[in-house]
Structure 1
C-alpha cells in the first residue's frame, strides 16, 4: 500500500477501511487462548466486517459522542468492539468486567465518571452481569450489547459516521485517586500522530512482527500492541496477561515461535522471566529475531537489563535490543525512546547532588546512582525540562519537571476543566511558550537524551501500575476500628531493586492499652491486598500526634519516609515482611495427580511459599494469610499456574485470592478433587450404560480473568 494513502488518513476508521480494501486476506491479529495454542485469528477484511456489524447495532441504541463501556476478557472480541465504537462515532471506554464478590471502586469510578449509555461485552460476561445488576448500580440503566453473538449481516447497514481527526476516539482512564478519577480524552489525530512517532522511534517497517501480552484496556496494550500493528499493516500475536504471569516462558516461546521483532512490557516482566525461566527452557528458545524489547510503564533498571541479557544471551538475545521508553496516557502513549540502533545509555551521577536536583557526573566510585536513558523525542513533538515552581526552563545540570507538547498530546481530562487547564495548559514564564503538558515526572536532558529521575508528586509505582497514596491510606484507616482517620501515610521504598510499600498509621489513644497489634497488622495487610492487589513491606503503628504533619494538619509523606529510612520512627508496634535469607530451597516434587493427598498438597504449598518468601519451611505457618509472606498479585497468579501444572488441572488465576492461606487453599483443592472424582465416576457409569452424551472430563475451574488488570 502506498505510504501517502496512510498518511492522508485522518481517522482510524479510514485506516482500517484502507487495510481491508488493500490487504483483505492478510492476518491482522491472532490470539493464543492459553498463551500457547491458537484460539482465533482475524484478517483485515474480517475485522472491518465485524466492526461494521457492531457499529450498525450500536447506532440503534447509542448516538455519536455517547460513551460505551468495553467489558471484555483479553481476546479479539475486545479489538472488534473497540473499532466498532469508532465506526459508530461512539466514544470507547476500555475497562474490565467488575470483580466477582469483591468491591471494585475503580470500575465504579469509571462507569460513573464516563456517564456511559451502553455496555459492550460478550454473551458469557453479559449473563453474569445480568444476575448482578441489582447490586451494581452503575449498570442498572445501561443498554447492553453482546458483540460475539451479533448477526454479521448487519454490516451492510453501516454508514460512515461524521468524524474527523479532532473527534474523540476513546477515554483512557489513568490510575487516579479514588476521589478524582481522570479520563484522558484521546482523539483520532492524537492516535495517528503517536503511531507515526512509534513507527519512527522503534524503527518499524512492513516486515515488523509483534507479540504482546499486556492488558488491552491499558494504553501500552491498546495503543502499542493493537493499534501500532494496524497502523503498519503487519501481524500481531496476542495472549492474556494471565497466561504470561502464570508461566512467563509462554511470552518468550511466542517470540521464538513467531519470530517476533517487537515485544515488551514493564521492567518487572523482564525480572520475572530471568527469575522463572529454567536453563532447560532457555535451551529450546531462539530470541535472535527480537530487535526491539521495549521497557516502560515503570522505572527502568540498568540491573534488569544486565541480568536479562546475561540469562538469555545463550538463546540469541542481544543487549542492543533493549529499548527503554517513556510515555503516558496523556500523550496517547509514546514520548521518548530509541533510536533502536543505539544500545541503552547508562549515566552515572552523584547521588547526593541528584537528591538536591542537581546533575553531576560521577568522577569516582562511591555514593553514585546509575540512571538509564529513555531515548529522545520524535517528529515535531517537543520535550523540555522546567522548574515546577518558577516555570522557567532548566539547564542540563538541573533536574526539573518534564513538559511535553505535540499533536499526540491529548485534549485534556473528561469533564475536568480545572485539572485540564492545570495539566495541559502550561506556559514558560519567561517566553510564554506553550501550551505544554505537565507530566508530574522529574528528569533531565543530556545531549537530547531524556533521563527520568522520579515523580514530583507522591505517586507509588509498583509492577508498572500507578497507585495514589491517598487511596491506600483510606483503605488502611477504614480497615480497623483502632486506627485514626486522616492520620496515616503510605509510600514506597526501594529494596533489592524493587519498589516496596510501607504504611505508617496512628492508633487511637483509647486502643493503646491492650492493643492487639498482630490483629491490626493482619487486617491492614489483607485490606490492602483485597482492595489494591498489593502486599505490604512494613507497617508502623504510632501513638497519636507522632505522625509528621504540617502546621495546618496535612500529613508529610516525604518526612515520614525519611524517618523510616533513618530508623527514627517512634512506634508502639511495627511489622516487617519476613526477609529473604538467601537459602537454598529443595526442589518441590511433582507426584502424579492420582497420588495427590491433603498432606501432599499442604507440603507442596509450604515448600512453594517458603521458596517465594525465601525463608526456611519451618517458619511457614499454614494458617497465616499469604499476604504475611509477601504474596502479591503477580505471585498469586504464578502460584495458580504452577499448581495447575502440578495437578494436571486448569485452575483459576484467582484461586489464591479466594483461598488466601495454605490451610484454606488445601481444603478447597481437596473438595474440588472429591467433586471431580464423583463427576468422573458418574460419567464412567453413563459410558458403560452406552449413554450417547457422556459428560466431558471436568477441570477444577475455568479461569476468570476479571481480577487481572496489571
Structure 2
C-alpha cells in the first residue's frame, strides 16, 4: 500500500483495516514497562466508526469536538480522534484536566472553539463536570466513549469530504502567549506525513516508540499518525511513566527494537542524569536509527553527552536528528539527512548581538555553537526576512523565518485578523505568494536552517541584543544547584526601563541546604561576565514548579505573568535595590576591587574594558 495515493488518513485506515485487519497498530504500556494493551487496525476502524456514529447522532455534531483522556488511556484517545475524523467532525485534543490551570485552559478552548461535545471516559466525565464553570458545563453534550459498543459501527456510512476539510484544531503550546487553535486540514496532514516519510526514511520494517503527550502535535502527528501512515506498530507509554522513570523510554526501544523515536532536548538531558551504569548494561539501542529532537533549543552539549554516554549501548551519534517545526505548519518544517551527523557551527556572539552571522568551523573564545535544523523539503520554501522592512535578509544576517508550502495550516480558528497577520504575510518586493510568519529568528547557510531565538523573546539592554536561552544556559551552568532546562529569562518594565529577571528551579538535592546569597551573587556575576547585563531580580523556584508547555518548552510569558502577580512557587526572591541598577552604578559596582571581580581574573577584566568601550560608542 502506498499512503501517498490516498487523499485522507480516513481512507487509508479503512484500507489498512481490510488488508491487514489483525496486524497490531498500537501497543500501550500501561505501567511504562511490560503491561501491554493492544489494538489492531480492524479494531481501531470498528471503534472509530462506532464513535463516529454516536457523534453524528448528536444535535451539535457540526461543532468542534473536545477530546480529554487520561494519559493511561492512550488507545481510547486514538479511537476517539479517528472517530471524529470518521464523522467529519473537527477534533480538539486537550490536556487531561489534572489541575486548576488545565481546567482554565480547557474552559478557554471551549469558549474560543464554541465546542459543544466532549468525548471522554466515565471517570473524567464526572470529575470534569464538577470542575468546570457550571454555566459552561450545562451547555455541553458529554459522551463517555467507554460505553459505546462495537456493533454501532455496522451500518454507519462515513460522510464524503474533500482533502481541504478541517481535520482538527491543534492548539499552540502557549510558550509565547495565549494558545490559539490552528486549523489543520486533511491535506495538511497528508502533506506533512509525506514529508516525514521522506526525511525519516521509514518503511514497513520501522517501529515507532513514543512517550510524548498525544494532545500535542509532536506526539499525535509525529508518533501516532506517522506510524499509521507507514503501516507499522507504535509502542506508546504515558508521559508520566517516562518522567517518573526515564529509563522506561530506552527500555521500550531496546525491547521492541524501536527504530524511530524522539523528544525535546530536555528528555535526552534527563536520561544522561538518571540512567545508571548498571542500568545501561541491559540496554541495546543499536536498532535506534533516528532520534529526532526539536520543540526547544537543541544544545550541542546534550548531543555530545548523550552520544558518548550511550555509545556502549549501541547508540550512534549519527542517529541524532535535529529538526524544526510548529503547530502552524501542521508539525514538520525542516530536517536534515538521515544517518548524517548533526551539522554544528560556531558564530561570534558579538556579531550575533547585531543580527550578523560570522561563522567559524571551530569553537573559540567569544563564539557559541548553533545546530542546523536541516532544510526545506518537497514544495516548501523558507525565506529569512527583516521583520521591519519585510524584505529578504542578505546572506549571513539573522531575520525572521518565513515558510510557505502545503504543510502550512489554514490559520487560527475564528481569529481572522491574527490569521491574516501570521499566515498571509507577503514580501514587500514579491507580493504574489503568502508566507507563514513563524516568529522565530534564524539564518540560512548553504540552505541549512539555524535557529537563533524567538522574535518576541529577544531583549535589549543598554543597546545590546540578548537571547533568553543564552542567559538561561549561562545560569544553569554556573552552579550544580540549578536544574538544567528549568529556568526562564525575561524582561519587565521598571520606571520606563527594561530590566532582566531570572527565574530558576533548584535541584531537589539542594532544597534543604541552600545558600541563597551565594546563588544570587553567582547568577549576577556570571550573567554580567558573559553577557554584560545587570540582573534586576532573581526567583529561585521549588523543583517541578516552572511553567512549561506539554512538550517541555518554558512558558516565558506565563512565567513573567506569574512573577508580576507574585504567584511563583518560590523558595527565595531577590531584587536589586532601587538606586543600584542605573548604568553608572552598575559599572562602578563591577569595577570595585572589593567585589568578587577576582573570581573572573584577567579574562573578565578584558571583557569589561571592551564593554565600557562599546558603552562610550553608544553614548557618542
TM surpasses 0.5:
yes
CA–CA distance in structure 1, aligned partners of residues 437 and 570 of structure 2? 44
CA–CA distance in structure 2, aligned partners of residues 178 and 361 of structure 1? 29
Change (3 A) 1:197 1:535: closer
Give the number of aligned pairs: 514
1:182 alignment partner, one of 176, 180, 187: 180
Once the two structures are superposed, what CA deviation does each residue of 1:152-205 show, in whole Å capped at 9, x if it has no partner?
A: 100013111121100000001113489854100000000000000001011111
1:169 alignment partner, one of 167, 170, 173: 167
Aligned twin of 2:393 = 394
What are the ranges of 5 or more consecutive residues in structure 2 without an aligned counterpart? 460-466, 478-484, 519-538, 549-568, 572-620
Cα distance, 1:106 vs structure 2: 1.6
Change (3 A) 1:132 1:577: closer
CA–CA distance in structure 2, aligned partners of residues 628 and 296 of structure 1? 27
CA–CA distance in structure 1, aligned partners of residues 171 and 400 of structure 2? 22
1:355 maps onto 2:353 in alignment:
yes
Q: Does structure 2 conserve the Cα–Cα contact (< 8 Å) formed by 1:441 and 1:455? A: yes
Name the structure where strand makes up a greater proportion of residues. Answer: 2
Cα distance, 1:100 vs structure 2: 4.5
Q: Tell me the SS of whatever aligns to 1:370.
A: strand
CA–CA distance in structure 1, aligned partners of residues 423 and 547 of structure 2? 37
Once the two structures are superposed, what CA deviation does each residue of 1:227-286 show, in whole Å capped at 9, x if it has no partner?
A: 000111000000011000000000010010000001000000000000111000011100
Aligned twin of 1:71 = 68
CA–CA distance in structure 2, aligned partners of residues 103 and 318 of structure 1? 38
Once the two structures are superposed, what CA deviation does each residue of 1:303-358 show, in whole Å capped at 9, x if it has no partner?
A: 10001111111111110000000000011000001211211000111111111111
Aligned twin of 1:514 = none
Aligned twin of 2:471 = 494
CA–CA distance in structure 2, aligned partners of residues 270 and 170 of structure 1? 30
Q: Tell me the SS of whatever aligns to 2:443.
A: strand
- TM-score, normalization: structure 1? 0.68
Aligned twin of 1:510 = none
Q: Does structure 2 conserve the Cα–Cα contact (< 8 Å) formed by 1:63 and 1:90? A: no
Q: Tell me the SS of whatever aligns to 2:142.
A: strand
Once the two structures are superposed, what CA deviation does each residue of 1:648-701 show, in whole Å capped at 9, x if it has no partner?
A: xxxxxxxxxxxx999xxxxxxxxxxxxxxxxxxxxxxxxxxxxxxxxxxxxxxx
Change (3 A) 1:661 1:358: closer
1:631 maps onto 2:543 in alignment:
yes
Change (3 A) 1:137 1:458: farther
Once the two structures are superposed, what CA deviation does each residue of 1:616-637 show, in whole Å capped at 9, x if it has no partner?
A: 99x9xxxxxxx9553025999x
Aligned twin of 1:275 = 273
Q: Tell me the SS of whatever aligns to 1:457.
A: coil
Cα distance, 1:129 vs structure 2: 2.7
Q: Does structure 2 conserve the Cα–Cα contact (< 8 Å) formed by 1:330 and 1:410? A: yes
1:25 maps onto 2:22 in alignment:
yes
1:35 maps onto 2:12 in alignment:
no
Cα distance, 1:207 vs structure 2: 1.2
CA–CA distance in structure 2, aligned partners of residues 635 and 51 of structure 1? 35
Map residues 208-357 of structure 1 onto 2, 5 A cutoff: 208-357=206-355
Cα distance, 1:103 vs structure 2: 7.1
Tell me the C-alpha RMSD between the 2 structures.
3.1
Map residues 210-609 of structure 1 onto 2, 5 A cutoff: 210-362=208-360, 365-458=364-457, 494-496=471-473, 546-549=494-497, 559-561=498-500, 609=508
Cα distance, 1:81 vs structure 2: 0.1
Q: Does structure 2 conserve the Cα–Cα contact (< 8 Å) formed by 1:441 and 1:454? A: yes
Q: Tell me the SS of whatever aligns to 2:226.
A: helix
Change (3 A) 1:16 1:306: same
Q: Does structure 2 conserve the Cα–Cα contact (< 8 Å) formed by 1:109 and 1:178? A: no
Cα distance, 1:37 vs structure 2: 2.0
CA–CA distance in structure 1, aligned partners of residues 474 and 18 of structure 2? 50
Cα distance, 1:393 vs structure 2: 1.1
Q: Does structure 2 conserve the Cα–Cα contact (< 8 Å) formed by 1:30 and 1:38? A: no
Q: Does structure 2 conserve the Cα–Cα contact (< 8 Å) formed by 1:202 and 1:338? A: no
1:59 maps onto 2:56 in alignment:
yes
Cα distance, 1:102 vs structure 2: 6.3
Aligned twin of 2:190 = 192
Aligned twin of 1:707 = none
CA–CA distance in structure 2, aligned partners of residues 415 and 438 of structure 1? 18
CA–CA distance in structure 2, aligned partners of residues 439 and 217 of structure 1? 21
CA–CA distance in structure 2, aligned partners of residues 215 and 194 of structure 1? 19
1:610 maps onto 2:607 in alignment:
no
- TM-score, normalization: structure 2? 0.77
Aligned twin of 1:88 = 87
Aligned twin of 2:140 = 142
Once the two structures are superposed, what CA deviation does each residue of 1:513-545 show, in whole Å capped at 9, x if it has no partner?
A: xxxxxxxxxxxxxxxxxxxxx9777999x9xx8
Cα distance, 1:7 vs structure 2: 2.0
Map residues 105-120 of structure 1 onto 2, 5 A cutoff: 105-120=104-119
CA–CA distance in structure 2, aligned partners of residues 23 and 397 of structure 1? 51
Q: Tell me the SS of whatever aligns to 1:432.
A: strand
Q: Does structure 1 conserve the Cα–Cα contact (< 8 Å) formed by 2:472 and 2:489? A: no
